[in-house]
């Protein structure tokens, strides 16, 4: 079967050299039982390559299953993959077969393999090397004949250096690597993909397909597309549904494209000045926390200045108090933070210096630490202390999942 017929069968659009090379490797390796590791950014279509390999292999009539390792909680992934015995853990009310047992003779696609816990990685390594596994809660060795295809959008070699991925598993998985190119690396395919998506959506929504003028095509081709084919498909659908004019120009297209430059929130830049993924999965949370602490520091600084002014000139206290009372009177009852916050006007607050003979001539502001990792660790410790070590309650209070909290505990080496 030639490459073009395979593309037609699986709906793959494009003729870029990088895409054709990846397709050629997938076709050649499909006839073997070699383990394949598919690299590529999110949204490039890695799962399609796993389906191509399975459908052209000798296992094509046997089961195929795709498992997203990042979507399964760490406490249950061993049970999902290898099965468990009745009563092996809380909630194990019955015996259960794992994927490696139900897909015996077929192919299993492990997406986001970089998210797999280290303990599960050791179990997977044994499957790859000896075809053996043990159900959770059992001591009996089981046999399986499953071909493993893995995929990742991370640099696994970098994760091995940080101790987050087993080096022996990396080299065992990386028998045959296939790198699926990002959309920005196959610009000549972007107009073809957009046209295909526009026609498909026109048929779905019973309308005429949108068409791009030359300016719009150039804009489309030169966009960064961090979400790759998935993002392009979403944009095509938005335009197909929302655009009143089916002849789309550059000005109209810009309304649908995301603003270049991304988030304007502060971010942590490594000491070498390069902006690169830090290996922490929850960058957005840190950006939000960083902005929160930045605002808090600003408020604290203003309070320090006001307090210093009152110490230097006690008569200002009465004026400040009057402003405060006026502000409370302007608020609606439900907007007042707490009834006890109101202070009687008959008792003005006067803050005096502890030493009438000592004037304050100099003050120095002490810079607080703005390291986001320190602040994040501090919040986690406080949440655990508040909820007496109960991870579930602490995670809920922090606004993160229990699995995320578990990772943070290991990452910051927090002892409960």
Is the pLDDT assigned to residue 341 strictly greater than 60? no
**For residue 2, what are the CA distances in angstroms to 34, 53, 196, 373?**
21, 14, 21, 52
pLDDT at 151 over 80: yes
| Residue with more model confidence, 266 or 370 | 370
Domains plus CATH for the chain? 3-181 (3.40.50.300), 185-254 (1.10.8.60), 371-411 (1.10.10)
| pLDDT for position 274 | 44
| pLDDT band, very low/low/confident/very high, at 286 (cuts 50, 70, 90) | low
Q: With 70 as the cut, is the pLDDT of residue 324 above it? A: no
| Whole-number pLDDT of residue 88 | 75
pLDDT at 127 over 60: yes
The yes-or-no verdict on residue 87 having pLDDT over 90 is no
pLDDT of residue 49: 96
Task: Band the pLDDT of 322: cuts 50, 70, 90.
Answer: low
Tell me the mean pLDDT in the region 339-366: 45
CB 225 within 8 A of CB 184: yes
**Integer angstrom CA distances of residue 140 from 84, 134, 413:** 11, 6, 34
What's the predicted TM-score (pTM) here? 0.61
Query: In the predicted model, is pLDDT for residue 360 greater than 60?
Result: no
Region 180-191: mean pLDDT is 94
- Average pLDDT over every residue of 37-41: 96
Q: Determine the average pLDDT of the residues in 154-176.
A: 94
pLDDT of residue 282: 44
Of 300 and 15, which is predicted with more confidence?
A: 15
Pairing between β-strand 132-134 and β-strand 141-143 as defined by DSSP bridges: antiparallel
Instruction: Tell me which residue of 18, 68, 64 sits closest to 26, measured CA to CA.
Output: 18
- The whole-number average pLDDT for the span 113-136 is 94
Question: Given a cut of 60, is residue 405 above it in pLDDT?
Answer: yes
pLDDT at 371: 65
Contact 150, 173 (CB under 8 A): yes
Please state the rounded mean pLDDT for residues 107-130: 95
Residue range 102-107: average pLDDT?
Answer: 95
> How far does Cα 71 stand from its chain's mean position?
11
Average pLDDT across the chain, whole number: 81
**pLDDT tens figures, 224-233:** 999 999 999 9
Q: Could you give the C-alpha distances from 287 to 12, 109, 296, 405, in angstroms and in order?
A: 37, 33, 14, 17
Stretch 352-357: mean pLDDT: 46
């Amino acid at each position: 079967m030639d490459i073009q017929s395979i593309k037609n069968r699986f709906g793959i659009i494009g003729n870029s050299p990088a895409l054709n090379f990846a397709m050629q490797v997938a076709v050649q390796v499909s006839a073997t039982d070699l383990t394949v590791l598919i690299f590529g950014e999110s949204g490039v279509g890695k799962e399609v390559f796993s389906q191509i390999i399975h459908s052209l292999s000798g296992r094509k009539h046997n089961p195929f299953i795709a498992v997203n390792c990042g979507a399964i909680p760490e406490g249950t992934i061993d049970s999902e993959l290898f099965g468990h015995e009745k009563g092996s853990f809380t909630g194990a009310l019955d015996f259960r077969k794992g994927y490696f047992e139900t897909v015996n003779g077929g192919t299993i696609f492990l997406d986001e393999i970089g998210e797999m816990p280290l303990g599960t990685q050791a179990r997977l390594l044994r499957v790859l090397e000896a075809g053996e596994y043990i159900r959770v809660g059992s001591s009996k060795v089981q046999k399986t004949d499953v071909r493993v295809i893995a995929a990742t959008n991370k640099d696994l070699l970098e994760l091995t250096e940080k101790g987050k991925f087993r080096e022996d598993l990396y080299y065992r998985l990386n028998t045959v690597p296939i790198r699926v190119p990002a959309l920005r690396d196959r610009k000549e395919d972007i107009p073809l993909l957009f046209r295909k998506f526009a026609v498909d959506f026109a048929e779905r929504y019973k309308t005429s397909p949108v068409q791009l003028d030359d300016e719009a095509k150039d804009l489309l081709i030169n966009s960064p597309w961090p979400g790759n084919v998935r993002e392009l498909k979403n944009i095509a659908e938005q335009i197909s549904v929302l655009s009143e004019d089916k002849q789309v120009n550059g000005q109209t297209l810009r309304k649908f494209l995301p603003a270049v430059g991304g988030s304007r929130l502060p971010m942590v830049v490594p000491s070498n000045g390069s902006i690169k993924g830090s290996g922490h999965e929850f960058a957005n949370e840190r950006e939000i926390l960083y902005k929160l602490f930045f605002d808090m520091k600003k408020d604290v600084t203003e309070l320090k200045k006001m307090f210093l002014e009152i110490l230097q000139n006690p008569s200002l206290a009465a004026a400040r108090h009057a402003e405060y009372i006026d502000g409370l009177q302007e608020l609606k009852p439900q907007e007042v933070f707490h009834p006890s916050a109101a202070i009687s006007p008959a008792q003005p607050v006067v803050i005096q210096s502890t030493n009438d003979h000592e004037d304050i001539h100099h003050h120095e502001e002490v810079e607080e630490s703005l390291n986001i990792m320190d602040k994040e660790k501090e919040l986690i410790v406080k949440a655990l202390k508040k909820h007496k070590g109960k991870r579930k309650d602490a995670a809920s209070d922090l606004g993160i999942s229990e699995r995320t909290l578990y990772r943070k505990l290991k990452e910051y080496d927090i002892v409960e």
